[in-house]
Amino acid sequence: MPDATNENHQEGRRSGCCNPVKKPGPVSMDHVLAALQETKEERDTRIRSLFNFFDAANVGYLDYGQIETGLSALQIPAEYKYAKDLLRVCDRNRDGRVDYQEFRRYMDDKELELYRIFQAIDVEHNGCILPEELWDALVKAGIEMDDDELASFVEHVDKDNNGIITFEEWRDFLLLYPHEATIENIYHYWERVYLVDIGEQAVIPEGISKHAHASKYLIAGAVAGTASRTATAPLDRLKVIMQVQTTSTCIVPAIKNIWREGGFLGFFRGNGLNVLKVAPESAIKFYAYEMLKNAIGEFKGEDKVDIGTSGRLLAGGTAGAVAQTVIYPMDLVKTRLQTFACEGGKVPSLGKLSKDIWVQEGPRAFYRGLVPSLLGIVPYAGIDLAAYEALKDMSKRYILHDTGMVSSLFWALFVSKYNILP
């Protein structure tokens, strides 16, 4: 945690610059007005003035070009402005234009959202965010930063340089950020601002930060993968058994044979290795996917979120091929284990089976069948990841209104359940 500053100085900052809101009840626009020390009429004038600033041509609506120009006029660099996303979020009737009422509704929703997270970070409820409160919120979200980075974060938001963040400063920093205002998203937004300001190219993919605990995402993916793979392990074993049969067979006799050879645990043979490869496979696939999206976006001169369906298919298919190539030896050993003809229910250990393959068939045997596997995984992974992003975008637009993690989880589950690998 950052070093504590002089206690008297802290108390002076709390009492002299903060504006605590004592209104009871759920967050409403009255709380926002009180935090901003603004009347309803003053707020109406402010929002109308901002709309008119973007509507420089005085046509009564905003389109992509006007939003892009307005963001540039506000000196928001192209590397982290969200003109297309802002248009999409504001444009409720999907006519490609944003009238004043749509713009006003966005402002209402965004200021309420920003006030809620401001209140969540301001644990002392004194009407301002102190550096240590911001640091605590980042740590709870799994994000670590050193003192210099925390100071830079505060400096970008704290316009009067008094060492604290008021709600007005918080609102001004994030008002035109069209995505959900979670602490993770806010951090990634600041990270892009910081990288641009110091003259570096932002090479860290969105959602994969050098400061975020990568182990948390890896563990979460591993737990989810373990549960899903274990639940479907009997079906996977049955599928493999039927695939390697040279004579016609039916499901019921195959199930009886599995039970006769190994009992209940026979249905889960090879599942341990299957579970072990889930975490590295998912980590490699999604990291490669993000990197490839960036590369395709740079090649096409577009942002990675705008690479289109073909770009997503290409990035997803290639990422799937990379992940499959890396973990293929584990997949081959798993398949050999599942189809091993054991006597008396005795199954060889993973180590012995792997050693036998190495000694008797050579190291190349671990990649036997890789090409046919890649021919299947490339279209599968491409469709899998492209469909996931497309469905998630649809949920943000029409169903969940950009609820971030909820839509991600929902469509990840949907796509994983309905994709079929030949």
CA nearest to 157, candidates 114, 120, 102 = 114
Tell me the two tokens of residue 386. Answer: 């492209």
Quote the CA–CA distance of 281 and 277 in Å, as a whole number.
6
| Burial call 140-166: b when 16+ CB within 10 Å, e when fewer | ebbbebeeebbebbbebbbeeeebbbb
Tell me the two tokens of residue 193. Answer: 């601002």
8 Å CB contact between 55 and 62: yes
DSSP type of residue 145:
-
Quote the CA–CA distance of 139 and 52 in Å, as a whole number.
40
User: 3-class SS at 98?
Assistant: strand
The dihedral through the CA atoms of 116, 122, 127, 129 has a sign that is negative
Quote the CA–CA distance of 130 and 123 in Å, as a whole number.
10
Tell me the two tokens of residue 29. Answer: 């626009």
Quote the CA–CA distance of 268 and 274 in Å, as a whole number.
10
8 Å CB contact between 183 and 117: yes
Q: What is the pTM of this model?
A: 0.52
Residue with tokens 């002089």: 6
Q: What is the pLDDT along the chain (422 residues), one digit of tens a residue?
A: 444 444 444 444 444 456 677 666 688 999 999 999 999 999 999 999 999 999 999 999 999 999 988 888 877 655 555 788 889 999 999 999 999 999 999 999 999 999 999 999 998 888 899 999 999 998 888 888 788 888 888 988 888 888 999 999 999 989 988 888 888 888 888 876 655 443 333 233 333 344 444 555 456 556 766 777 788 888 878 887 777 665 666 888 888 888 887 788 878 877 777 777 777 777 777 778 878 887 887 777 655 556 777 888 888 889 889 988 988 888 888 778 767 766 555 667 778 888 888 988 888 888 888 888 888 888 877 887 777 677 766 655 554 444 444 444 444 444 444 443 44
* Residue 45 pLDDT: 95
CA nearest to 407, candidates 92, 87, 81, 180 = 180
Quote the CA–CA distance of 274 and 304 in Å, as a whole number.
32
Quote the CA–CA distance of 182 and 173 in Å, as a whole number.
14
Neighbours of 323 (CB within 10 A): 23
8 Å CB contact between 290 and 389: no
Residue with tokens 């096409």: 300
8 Å CB contact between 184 and 143: yes
